[in-house]
């Protein structure tokens, strides 16, 4: 353990030294006329440009050497072989197995798991067909976290391709406004509900499910009719049948599938319903292509490794606290939120896998939005703010609508923002735009119009937004997070940080709902509960 910790400290020192030296001036790196070619990689319709990041061959070679000493390839093989990589919970992480095609060579210890995955996929296809044949036109996914964000991202990206008469709606929040906003537009006889919960004990999902059942009963459906409109996706099938879901409507998946890595599993059932199993298989195929790339490509051309290295360079080398994801495609509006959970829940930790405090920062704050809209919101701070915020730009090249001029303008805006972040504007250039360079007001204005530049970005350009490229993009981000976590010594597959708030909620809820006060809480929390109860009683 001490040897690995020393190697990780060496990696952090390498990143700090590079950030203060060769990586300090991004613009100088473009003295290499082949830089754009050298630092771009394409996988299956997904082109990634890292030229505007502070990478050079010396840094990548040194980081690759440390990765070898940290047995990073071995860590990848452990993942693919189904070995325990989630030590704190004693589990493997089987999300890569979910997207291995039927004809693939499966590790001996995973053959039965893979056969079960293929059987579940067939069950998903059959159940989707039965629901459609029964007149179900809207499937409402009740889930939260990974049980919501993955299917929602893919559905909203591909909604225009949904099969005729099949729509999805999503409710994650326990806030009754969220559920009512969906229910008020539904016909209960043409709607069904997916209860997506790995444990089948998630508070928000169970509460929304009970309210959805009450809504159906209030609209005249009997117990059997209600049951036929329930589907459960869970790692606890017995809990689902006890709840009242028919056994033939229960889709299972393994405990070794983490929520934020689960869109490839039965959690993706709504996508099979909406788009058909072949499009879902294309999503899996795109992800599998990335698995093969990350597993076999040398580190210097390995996109999973390079993206992880870029993230660690910003966080541990430059000390940048956040990372903005800006999508120049309305269909991908959920991507920043999806990546927020994937990165921050996976690697947002302050101790390593052995419980030892980290001597360097871990995951950045991930946030973002949709361009061009956000150019009129937070891009002021990106260009001229006191914090440097690395940006990931994501767009698609192919025009999927009847307004091609709009798409040209969209991509021009994205390219311009990335170029402006890099180039900047000097004081001399700003002053030259003024009529009277000696005017004190002009001088003040020029100083306000200076752009520091030298601000990094990554550009990801998809050929088009389709199932395969979406699978490629999502799986690429998963591997980036896993490799970054292993380089930091973090277990990327547990999430103890979500537990304490849940436990305290369980203590507080009876009091909030009208019960006796609960002792042991701080005065601020107690005042909030009492204020709420008083306001509710008026």
Q: Do residues 124 and 151 lie in contact, with contact meaning Cβ atoms separated by under 8 Å?
A: no
Q: What is the pLDDT of residues 354-408, one digit of tens each?
A: 999 999 999 999 999 999 999 999 999 999 999 999 999 999 999 999 999 999 9
Percent of the chain with pLDDT strictly greater than 70: 100
Query: Can you tell me whether residue 455 is helix, strand or coil?
Result: coil
pLDDT tens digits along 71-118: 999 999 999 999 999 999 999 999 999 999 998 999 999 999 999 999
| Rounded mean pLDDT, 37-49 | 96
Q: What is the CATH number of domain 95-283?
A: 3.40.50.10490
Active site residue 478: no
pLDDT of res. 145: 95
CB 34 within 8 A of CB 452: no
The CATH number that domain 2-69+298-423+455-494 falls under is: 3.40.50.10490
Q: Would you state the pLDDT for residue 2?
A: 84
**Can you tell me the distance from the alpha carbon of 116 to that of 392, in angstroms, rounded to the nearest whole number?**
37
Instruction: Assess whether pLDDT exceeds 70 at residue 211.
Output: yes
The Cα 348–Cα 344 span in angstroms is: 5
Average pLDDT over residues 344-361: 96
Please report which confidence band the pLDDT of residue 437 belongs to, taking 50, 70 and 90 as the band edges.
Answer: confident
DSSP symbols for 229-284? TEEEEES-HHHHHHHT--GGGEEE--TTS-GGG-TTTGGGHHHHHHH-HHHHHHHH
> Phi and psi of 511, rounded to 5°?
-65, -45
Q: What is the mean pLDDT of residues 333-361?
A: 97
Reference 246, options 142, 138, 127; nearest CA is: 127
Mean local confidence (pLDDT), 246-250: 97
d(CA 434, CA 134): 70
| Cα 201 from Cα 64, distance rounded (Å) | 43
Given the residues 224, 376, 401, 503, the one annotated as active site: 376
Can you tell me the mean pLDDT for 475-490? 98
Determine the Cα angle at 432 with ends 426 and 436, to 5°.
135
pLDDT score at 537: 86
407 is an active site residue:
no
Backbone angles phi, psi at 390, to 5 degrees: -60, 145
**C-alpha atoms less than 13 angstroms from C-alpha of 365 in its C-beta half-sphere:** 8
Same fold, 2-69+298-423+455-494 and 95-283: yes
Q: Which of 345, 349, 478, 479 is catalytic?
A: 345
At 406, list the tokens: 């709009």
Output the CA–CA distances (angstroms, integers) from residue 146 to 71, 201, 337, in the order listed.
29, 15, 11
Identify whether 345 is a catalytic site residue: yes
The reported pLDDT for the residue numbered 1 is 63
Question: Domain-by-domain residue ranges, the chain?
Answer: 2-69+298-423+455-494, 95-283, 497-537
Once rounded to an integer, what is the mean pLDDT over residues 331-342? 98
pLDDT tens digits, one per residue of 136-145: 999 999 999 9
Find out whether 346 and 481 touch, Cβ atoms under 8 Å. yes
Within a 10 A sphere around the Cβ of 129, how many other Cβ atoms?
A: 14
Residue of 73, 223, 398, 502 with catalytic role: 502
| Residues 55-83: tens digit of each pLDDT | 999 999 999 999 999 999 999 999 999 99
CA distances from 531 to 204, 521, 527 (A): 24, 15, 6
């Amino acid at each position: 353990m001490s040897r690995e910790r020393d190697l990780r400290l060496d990696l952090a020192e390498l990143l700090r030294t590079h950030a203060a030296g060769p990586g300090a001036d991004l613009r100088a790196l473009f003295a290499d006329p082949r830089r754009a070619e050298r630092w771009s990689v394409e996988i299956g319709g997904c082109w990634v440009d890292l030229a505007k990041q502070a990478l050079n061959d010396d840094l990548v070679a040194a980081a690759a050497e440390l990765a070898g000493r940290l047995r990073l390839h071995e860590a990848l093989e452990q993942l693919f072989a189904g070995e325990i990589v989630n030590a704190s919970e004693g589990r493997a992480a089987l999300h890569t197995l979910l997207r291995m095609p039927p004809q693939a060579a499966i590790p001996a210890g995973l053959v039965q798991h893979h056969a079960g995955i293929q059987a579940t996929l067939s069950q998903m296809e059959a159940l989707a067909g039965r629901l459609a044949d029964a007149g179900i036109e809207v499937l409402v996914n009740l889930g939260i976290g990974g049980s919501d964000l993955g299917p929602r991202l893919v559905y909203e990206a591909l909604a225009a391709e949904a099969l005729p008469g099949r729509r999805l709606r999503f409710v994650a929040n326990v806030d009754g406004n969220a559920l009512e906003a969906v229910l008020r537009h539904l016909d209960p006889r043409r709607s069904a509900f997916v209860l997506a919960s790995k444990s089948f004990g998630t508070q928000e999902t169970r509460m929304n499910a009970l309210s959805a059942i009450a809504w159906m009963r209030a609209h005249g459906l009997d117990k059997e009719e209600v049951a036929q409109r329930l589907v459960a996706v869970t790692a606890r099938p017995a809990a689902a049948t006890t709840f009242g879901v028919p056994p033939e409507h229960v889709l299972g998946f393994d405990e070794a599938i983490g929520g934020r890595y689960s869109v490839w599993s039965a959690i993706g059932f709504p996508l099979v319903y909406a788009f058909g199993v072949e499009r879902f298989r294309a999503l899996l195929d795109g992800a599998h292509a990335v698995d093969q790339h990350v597993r076999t490509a040398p580190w210097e051309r390995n996109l999973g490794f390079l993206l992880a290295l870029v993230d660690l360079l910003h966080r541990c080398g430059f000390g940048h606290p956040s990372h903005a994801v800006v999508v120049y495609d309305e269909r991908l509006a959920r991507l920043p939120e999806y990546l927020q959970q994937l990165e921050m829940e996976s690697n947002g930790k302050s101790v390593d896998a052995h419980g030892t405090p980290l001597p360097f920062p871990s995951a950045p704050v991930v946030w973002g939005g949709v361009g061009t809209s956000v150019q009129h919101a937070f891009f002021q701070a990106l260009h001229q703010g006191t914090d440097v915020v690395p940006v990931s730009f994501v767009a698609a090249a192919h025009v999927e609508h009847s307004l091609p001029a709009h798409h040209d303008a969209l991509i021009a805006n994205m390219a311009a923002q990335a170029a402006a972040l890099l180039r900047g504007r000097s004081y001399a250039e700003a002053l030259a735009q003024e009529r009277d360079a000696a005017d004190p007001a002009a001088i003040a204005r020029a100083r306000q119009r200076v752009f520091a530049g030298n601000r990094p970005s990554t550009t990801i350009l998809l050929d088009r937004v389709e199932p395969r490229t979406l699978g490629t993009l999502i799986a690429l981000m998963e591997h980036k997070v896993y490799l970054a976590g292993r380089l930091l010594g973090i277990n990327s597959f547990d999430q103890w940080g979500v537990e304490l708030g849940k436990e305290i909620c369980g203590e507080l809820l009876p009091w909030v709902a009208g019960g006796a006060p609960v002792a042991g809480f701080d005065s601020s929390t107690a005042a909030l509960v009492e204020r709420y109860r008083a306001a509710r009683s008026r």
